[in-house]
Amino acid sequence: MPSAIVNGLIDDRLLALEDSLSVRISVVAKLLDRRLARLVVDRFGLAVAEYRVLSQVALYPRSTVRLISERTFVDKAQVSRAVAALETSGLLMRALPQADRRSPVFTATKSGRTLLKKIVPLRQAQEQELADCLNGVAGTVEAALGQLIEALADTGDASPASTQRRQ
């Protein structure tokens, strides 16, 4: 296979990758994370990961770190750090089930649910702004992204282990 760099010059194939679907989606994801951060960090003092974990636990009470990690495709260590911060802030509480005392389950506290009730309308407004930017094709974009997520999740590429650098 010919090199993408010939005589120190970058080949058009390499430049085309910069405009690829995966790069564009990555840029969109980063921009959306920054937008979300401006809302939850600046207005509510939560990190993005903490907001996502709190939302998951509110939606699925008695969630474990493993289940949250699997649902959100986020590394368990990052989920654990967010859970610890939310517990310290009094937004989550931990319980140890009798069946498996090694896997604590988490539930949003009243304070956690109250905070989410303040955030949700603002998040809904953000989502509406995005839909408005898409000029009537938001449903099509959401369907396509759903298909893409399913396809990638089914290949095993969604595993956090696959994102680790090989030594």
Predicted confidence (pLDDT) at residue 163 exceeds the cutoff of 70: no
What 3-state class would DSSP assign to 52? helix
**Which amino acid is located at 145 in the chain?**
L
Confidence (pTM) = 0.79
Do 99 and 49 touch, CB atoms closer than 8 A?
no
Check whether 152 has a pLDDT greater than 70. Answer: yes
| Per-residue pLDDT at 80 | 97
For residues 30 and 143, what is the distance between their CA atoms, to the nearest angstrom? 20
Structural domains in the chain, sorted by start: 12-158 (1.10.10.10)
Tokens of 56: 């998951």
The 10s digit of each residue's pLDDT in 71-117 is: 998 999 999 999 999 999 999 999 998 887 788 999 999 999 999 99
Query: pLDDT (tens digit, 9 = 90+) per residue, 111-133?
Result: 999 999 999 999 999 999 988 98
Contact indicator for 49, 24 with CB cutoff of 8 Å: no
